[in-house]
Amino acid sequence: MTYQPVPNRRGAFASAEKKHPFIDADSHIEDHDGIFDHLDRAYWHRRPKIVHIGDMIAHRTQRNYAWLIDGEMRPKMQGYQASCHASPIVTDYAKLKPVSTAIQGILDVDAYCAKMDEIQLDVATIYSTLFLQPLTRDPLFEAALMRSYNSWMAETCGKKPTRLKWAALLPMRLPDQAVKEVHRAKALGATSLMVLGTVGSVLLHDRRFDPVWAAAEEVGLPICVHVGWAHDGIGEGLDSPAAAFILNFEMTIVFGFFSFLGGGILDRFKSLKVGFLEGGASWFPTVLDRMDKWRVTPAAEVWPAEKAPIDYLREREIYFTVEGDEANLPAFVDLIGADRILGAADFPHTHYAGGKLGEAFGSIRERDDVPDAHKDLIFGPNAMRFYGLKPEDVHFSKPTQTMQG
């Protein structure tokens, strides 16, 4: 259920005067073969290839190219273990988007920033699209692919460092290598660390991952749990993109939510910052309610965490992105706190009705049931705090007059 804004709501962002940078806390790159330019030479013969598949997917003929990685297609747009996204950027589908493929792939950073200016954004924090799913069954090869991606993103976003921030990928199936990548990502200038809601079929609160959380805490980078086709075992039982979107892509972020607020991670790493990206405002209140119900029952003993989930929300730095059109957004803001909500446009994805680009910032600014003071926090200051950004770290285009939408 979505919120229907009041017609003729004023077009300015939240206030008559722009008082801080507007930050998209969850932008994306539509990945392309350039991200593997830094691949270790030992794996060069296995470098992912973009292949033409024509009209093989009869109901998605515009998605006429796909990745071939270790003999398997990504995205896998039909059958079991399905997924669907717009990478690579050479598809007809990508070319039909209202922004160029050079912008989608951040191949032209000036054009990307010009588009940001057009939609009144100062800073974008960029996450991968291709790596929202496991790409290979070989964890060493996966680690090499992720290192290459991180190196390319550091190089590219480094051309506009106050405007383009990026999230590093972590090879979580090899925790020792993930720890090394945390430190390398920090040195490269990453703003955050992206993980999915599970590591294959293993939950994030498994103690094998504790060194990764310790490293993130040490370097001061937040962990961002992103929706994605994370759970191999669940994916094996899902026979279509429709099932996979709801029961794997969406639901596995709830697994990650449990791991941090119910699995004991935040007892062991008290200063760790955690964000849940692209999960919306609907899943988490329900899961909180069910966790609170089961936590005190003999059936669920021994509960892995020391406190009630709501205590971690109150005491720790836990943040959530919202898409702006959720009917329950005011209640979610009241539950979580207006200072823990991040604005996220999901640019340049088009998984909205009619294939539209994300309109989160516009949806939020048009609402009459969210106070302007809360909107101001959502549009920038919360992201500054979550990502640990200082004023000198970010671009701020302050208009001389009221911004018009």
Q: Tens digit of pLDDT per residue, the chain (405 long)?
A: 555 543 333 333 444 467 899 999 999 999 999 999 999 999 999 999 999 999 998 988 999 999 999 999 999 999 999 999 989 999 999 999 888 999 999 999 999 999 989 888 899 999 999 999 999 999 999 999 999 999 999 999 999 999 999 999 999 999 999 999 999 999 999 999 999 999 999 999 999 999 999 999 999 999 999 999 999 999 999 999 999 999 999 999 999 999 999 999 999 999 999 999 999 999 999 999 999 999 999 999 999 999 999 999 999 999 999 988 889 999 999 999 999 999 998 787 776 666 556 677 888 988 999 999 999 999 999 999 999 999 999 999 876 444 433
d(CA 205, CA 258): 9
Residue 297 phi, psi dihedral angles, 5° rounding: -95, 150
3-class secondary structure, 35: helix
pLDDT for 3 equals 56
Instruction: Quote the radius of gyration of the chain (alpha carbons, Å).
Output: 20
The verdict on whether omega for the bond into residue 75 sits within 30 degrees of 0, i.e. cis, is yes
DSSP state of 86: -
Q: Residues 163, 279, 246, 328: is their CA dihedral positive or negative?
A: negative
HSE-CB of 200 using CA atoms within 13 angstroms: 13
pLDDT for 216 equals 98
- CB 66, CB 73: distance < 8 Å: yes
Specify the amino acid at residue 113: C
> pTM of the prediction?
0.94
pLDDT for 400 equals 46
3-class secondary structure, 80: coil
Backbone φ/ψ region at 107: left (φ over 0), alpha (ψ -120 to 50), beta? alpha
3-class secondary structure, 233: helix
- CB 387, CB 222: distance < 8 Å: yes
d(CA 169, CA 150): 7
- CB 365, CB 4: distance < 8 Å: no
Lookup: tokens for 274: 């955690």
The verdict on whether omega for the bond into residue 302 sits within 30 degrees of 0, i.e. cis, is yes
pLDDT for 190 equals 98
Closest among 359, 345, 325 to 5, alpha carbons compared: 325
Domain regions of the chain by residue span: 23-28+39-47+113-393
Q: At what angle do helices 175-188 and 210-219 cross, to 10 degrees?
A: 10
What is the C-alpha end-to-end distance of the chain, expressed in Å?
25
* Pairing between β-strand 198-199 and β-strand 202-203 as defined by DSSP bridges: antiparallel
Q: Print the SS3 string covering 326-395.
A: ECCHHHHHHHHCHHHEEECCCCCCCCCHHHCCCCHHHHHHHCCCCCHHHHHHHHCHHHHHHCCCCHHHCC
HSE-CB of 66 using CA atoms within 13 angstroms: 25
Alpha carbon of residue 15 to chain centroid? 27
What is 23-28+39-47+113-393's CATH topology? TIM Barrel (3.20.20)
d(CA 282, CA 292): 16
Specify the amino acid at residue 233: G
